[in-house]
Amino acid sequence: MVNIQKAALEEKVEILIGNAEDTLSNLSQEQASTFDLVFIDADKDRNPVYLKWALNLSHPGSIIVVDNVVRDGKVGEGSDGDPSVRGTRQLVELVSKDQRVESTAI
């Protein structure tokens, strides 16, 4: 919040706090326009859910950034019991199959 105030963007930025899926569902129902930029940095096991909402709430040309997709290289390795790795791996698989999306991982 402090950075938003320092940038004098209080009138342009709205911070929503709550359960992400509930908030995204409400946004989808209430919002007339779409987002140009979506930044996903939440509980990684739910990444596939957040990606689906991001695609629903964006438009062609929007940028969707997902933080921490490498997971110390574990996403590219074999099976892993870590829910964060599984969720991120599922997100990568969804992105690779979705014709609307161009992607890269750094």
Of 96 and 73, more confident: 96
Q: Is residue 36 a part of any domain in this protein? A: yes
Q: Is residue 103 a part of any domain in this protein? A: no
Q: Is residue 62 a part of any domain in this protein? A: yes
Q: Is residue 68 a part of any domain in this protein? A: yes
Give residue-wise pLDDT tens across range 5-54.
999 999 988 888 888 888 888 888 887 678 899 999 888 899 999 999 99
**Domain count within the chain:** 1
Global pTM? 0.80
Q: Is residue 5 a part of any domain in this protein? A: no
CATH at 82 = 3.40.50.150
Q: Is residue 8 a part of any domain in this protein? A: no
| Structural domain containing residue 69 | 18-97
- Token digits for 33? 């326009």
Give residue-wise pLDDT tens across range 49-85.
999 999 999 999 999 999 887 777 777 776 677 888 8
- Identify the CA nearest to 48 among candidates 79, 84, 99: 84
